[in-house]
């Protein structure tokens, strides 16, 4: 198996500022302060502050504007109410008239 030393990077997890000198194939590997692993942001000091900020920003952005589907559904609901409500009122009035007619 071949491993590319150009693409490989390292990250040291420590609250202290520690540098690691690791060489592979005669080349020193670059050291990162942050990395992504399975979609989660990892930092060298093992805090999750960046990850929390990312989640807060995504949630804020999603709540700022409702989805277009929801807006369309609300418009259709209003249109259906505008069409059906007058007919429902007329039907209710007719049923009440029939009910009062049957009583006499």
Separation of alpha carbons 41 and 10, rounded Å: 14
Q: How does strand 9-10 pair with strand 30-31?
A: parallel
pLDDT tens string, the chain, 104 residues long: the values are 787 777 788 888 777 777 788 888 888 888 888 777 787 777 777 777 777 888 888 888 877 766 667 777 888 888 887 877 777 777 777 777 766 655 55
- Among candidates 49, 54, 45, 40, which has minimal Cα distance to 11? 45
Q: Say whether both 15 and 38 belong to one domain.
A: yes
Q: Say whether both 34 and 19 belong to one domain.
A: yes
pLDDT computed for residue 69 by the predictor: 74
Q: Say whether both 84 and 56 belong to one domain.
A: no
Question: Are the beta carbons of 89 and 97 closer than 8 angstroms?
Answer: no
Structural domain containing residue 97? 67-104
pLDDT computed for residue 98 by the predictor: 65
pTM above 0.75, yes or no: no
pLDDT computed for residue 67 by the predictor: 64
pLDDT computed for residue 36 by the predictor: 79
Q: Say whether both 39 and 50 belong to one domain.
A: yes
């Amino acid at each position: 198996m071949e491993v590319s030393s150009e693409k490989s990077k390292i990250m040291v997890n420590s609250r202290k500022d520690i540098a690691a000198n690791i060489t592979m194939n005669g080349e020193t590997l670059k050291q990162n302060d942050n990395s992504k692993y399975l979609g989660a942001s990892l930092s060298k000091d093992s805090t999750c502050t960046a990850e929390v900020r990312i989640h807060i920003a995504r949630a804020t952005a999603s709540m700022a504007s409702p989805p277009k589907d929801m807006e369309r559904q609300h418009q259709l609901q209003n249109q259906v109410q505008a069409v059906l409500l007058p007919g429902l009122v007329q039907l209710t009035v007719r049923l009440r008239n029939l009910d009062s007619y049957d009583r006499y």
